[in-house]
Amino acid sequence: MKILFAGDASNMHNCLAQQLRNMGHEAVVASDGSRWMDTERDINLLRQPGLMGTLRYLMDIKRALPLMTGFDIVEIASPIFLRLKPHRVARVFDYLKAHNRHVVLSALATDVVYYNACHDGYTFRYSDYMLGNEPSPYVNSAEYVANQQDNWKQPFMRHHSDHILQGIDGAVACLYEYYAAYKPVLGDRVVYGGIPIDTENLEYRPMEQAPDKVRLFIGIQRDRHVIKGTDKLLAAMKRVHDRYPGITQLEVVENLPYDEYTRRMRDSHIILDQLYSYTPGTNALIAMAQGLVAVSGAEPEYYRLIGENVNKPIINVSPLIESDIDEKLSWLIEHRDQLPQMSRASRIFVEKHNAAPVVAQRYLDFWSSLD
């Protein structure tokens, strides 16, 4: 097959493209490299700040469009797959739909459908936006305003979402949350794909014995600190470090390029990633592939969706229980003799559910069903 990935997030589309090439397909990635992550792409669509940056960006898109035709599949990274206003994104979308065979949505980021599900009162017990019936800390933060989150409920954004949903041939969700949000909207036109992880090139470093000093790792995205809950995870890390000063060590990194981020976590034992998620995200899965134990999201709904009844190595933390992070981190420190077994289980989990060949085959099966 001939596949174009329009947009990317956390290296997901690039990882898929590399795997598809290994399987004999042709794959092209047109993206901004997930901004500071600077992930690989074939067509560079990075928007620089300022008027000149905007003009250059528009010219880059115009020059790229003739290279984005004649594909069997165009996989767009969310309804806003370019850093443009919705009406401009819609024009590019219409061009891609007219000049390619199928257009499919990667449900991998916040959009109108996910925003609606977070606020409907029944799809999730908690989310980035709501904790039960109460607004999350994110909703009351400067980060919420800076990221223009109120736009998701505005008529112009909803109109754009409807236009995209009417035009796509289907959607593949990378997380349980996006699958749960899209299922009532698209029915059988949405499937779960998962996040692809390049397990072949991520060295697994097994823990041979319990560490004398437990190294805790957290990566912070500067403009998504509150929505990811890393503010609360970091605070809990520091409290646990104060409680166990002689046997814990902290590493905190911020806005690193993808390759450097992956290297920096390598010598740690535990990663903390995402408080408001039902599902482990890319950071957690990359860490698990290298043998780290992940403190993240792993609710029963997620394990049911992927059909896993035995190996459940992710330490699920709930934002609905104030002391949950501290208690589970403390348990890990006090029972660090179990970390080697949990490390092995983490690698096995990723190989089974998220290895790039496994996820790529799910995409291929879905794309083939569209003909």
pLDDT in tens, 159-176: 999 999 999 999 999 999
Residue 256 binned pLDDT confidence (cut-offs 50, 70, 90):
confident
Range list of β-strands (E), 18-145: 26-31, 43-44, 73-77, 102-107, 130-131, 134-135
At 251, which amino acid appears?
Answer: E
Single pTM value for the model:
0.95
- Tell me what pLDDT residue 36 has: 75
Residue 259 binned pLDDT confidence (cut-offs 50, 70, 90):
confident
Residue 242 binned pLDDT confidence (cut-offs 50, 70, 90):
very high
- Tell me what pLDDT residue 291 has: 96
Provide, rounded to the nearest whole percent, the portion of the chain with pLDDT above 70. Answer: 100
The average pLDDT across 97-109 equals: 97
What letters, b where the CB count within 10 A reaches 16 and e where it falls short, cover 28-51? bbbbbbbbbbbbebebebbbeeee
The average pLDDT across 167-188 equals: 98
Structural contact between residues 313 and 349, judged by C-beta atoms closer than 8 angstroms: yes
Grouping H, G, I as helix, E, B as strand and the rest as coil, residue 172 is strand
pLDDT in tens, 336-363: 999 999 999 999 999 999 999 999 999 9
As separate numbers, helices (DSSP H) first and strands (DSSP E) second, the chain gives 14, 14
- Tell me what pLDDT residue 35 has: 81
Q: Residue 211 above 80 pLDDT?
A: yes
Q: Residue 317 above 80 pLDDT?
A: yes
pLDDT in tens, 43-63: 999 999 999 999 999 999 999
At 291, which amino acid appears?
Answer: G
Among 371, 237, 359, residue whose Cα is nearest residue 306: 359
pLDDT in tens, 215-225: 999 998 887 88
Residue 255 binned pLDDT confidence (cut-offs 50, 70, 90):
confident
The average pLDDT across 136-152 equals: 93
Residue-by-residue DSSP string for 279-333: S--HHHHHHHHTTPEEEE---HHHHHHHT-SS---SEE--TTSTTHHHHHHHHHH
Q: What is the CA radius of gyration of the chain?
A: 20
Cα angle: 124, vertex 284, 20; to 5 degrees:
100
Average pLDDT of the chain to the nearest whole number: 95
- Tell me what pLDDT residue 43 has: 96
- Tell me what pLDDT residue 135 has: 96
Half-sphere exposure of 75 (CA within 13 A, CB side): 28
The average pLDDT across 65-75 equals: 98
pLDDT in tens, 300-310: 999 999 999 99
Domains of the chain, first to last: 2-196+356-369 (3.40.50), 200-353 (3.40.50.2000)
